[in-house]
Amino acid sequence: MSEKKNAKIVVVTSGKGGVGKTTSTAALGAALAQEGQSVAVVDFDIGLRNLDLMMGAERRVIFDLINVIQGNANLSQALIKDKRLENLYLLPASQTRDKNALTEKGVLQVMEQLRSRFDWVICDSPAGIERGAVLAMKHADIAVIIANPEISSVRDSDRIIGLLDSKTERAKKGQEVEKHLLITRYDTVRAGTGEMLAIDDVSEVLSIPLLGIIPESREVLSASNLGVPVPISNPASLPAKAYVEAARRLCGEDIEVTLPVSKKKLFANWFGGRAA
Ligand SMILES: Nc1ncnc2c1ncn2[C@@H]1O[C@H](COP(=O)(O)OP(=O)(O)O)[C@@H](O)[C@H]1O
Ligand SMILES: [Mg+2]
**Nearest CA among 100, 83, 73 for reference residue 30:** 83
CB 34 within 8 A of CB 231: yes
Q: What is the predicted pLDDT for the residue at 261? A: 74
Q: What are the pLDDT digits (tens) for 175-217?
A: 999 999 999 999 877 777 777 777 777 777 778 999 999 999 9
Instruction: Decide which of 3.60.15.10, 3.40.50.2300, 2.30.30.90, 3.40.50.300 is the CATH code for 8-275.
Output: 3.40.50.300
Ligand 1: atom nearest CA of 186 is 1
Check residue 276 and give its pLDDT: 33
Averaged over 248-268, what is the pLDDT? 80
> Residue 151's CB: how many other CB atoms inside 10 A?
13
CA 25 to ligand 1: nearest atom: 17
Contact 25, 126 (CB under 8 A): no
Q: Is the pLDDT reported for residue 273 higher than 50?
A: no
- The confidence band for 274, taking pLDDT boundaries of 50, 70 and 90, is very low
Predicted pLDDT of residue 3: 79
> Best of 184, 224, 228 to mutate for ligand 1, by most ligand atoms within 8 A of CB?
224
- How far apart (Å, rounded) are the C-alpha atoms in residues 183 and 227? 22
Task: Give the alpha-carbon dihedral of 78, 82, 87, 91, to 10 degrees.
Answer: -30
Contact indicator for 75, 40 with CB cutoff of 8 Å: no
Distance from Cα 45 to the centre of ligand 1, integer Å: 15
Per-residue confidence band for 41, with pLDDT thresholds at 50, 70 and 90: very high
- List, chain by chain if needed, residues with CB within 6 Å of any ligand 1 atom: 14, 17-23, 50, 127, 184-185, 214, 216-217, 220-221, 224, 239
For the CA of 23, the closest atom of ligand 1 is 17
Distance from the CA of 143 to the center of ligand 2, in angstroms?
15
Give the model's confidence band at 252: pLDDT under 50 very low, under 70 low, under 90 confident, else very high. very high
| Averaged pLDDT score across all residues of the chain | 90
Structural element, H or E, at residue 67: helix 65-69
Highest average pLDDT, of 95-109, 123-137, 254-268, comes from 123-137
pLDDT at 197: 75
Range scoring the smallest mean pLDDT among 87-91, 105-109, 160-164, 262-266: 262-266
Is residue 118 within 8 A of residue 7, CB to CB? The reply is yes
Would you say 163 and 172 are in contact if contact means Cβ atoms under 8 Å apart?
Answer: no
Contact at 8 Å (CB) between 229 and 55? yes
Other Cβ atoms less than 10 A from the Cβ of 210: the count is: 17
Q: What is the pLDDT of residues 55-110, one digit of tens each?
A: 999 999 999 999 999 999 999 999 999 999 999 999 999 876 677 889 999 999 99
Rounded distance between C-alpha atoms, residue 65 and residue 18, angstroms: 22
Enumerate the β-bridge partners of residue 9.
121
pLDDT at 221 over 90: yes
% of residues, the chain, pLDDT over 90: 71
Q: Which of 13, 92, 91 is nearest to 49 (CA)?
A: 92
Contact 36, 87 (CB under 8 A): yes
Structural domain spans, the chain:
8-275
pLDDT of res. 275: 37
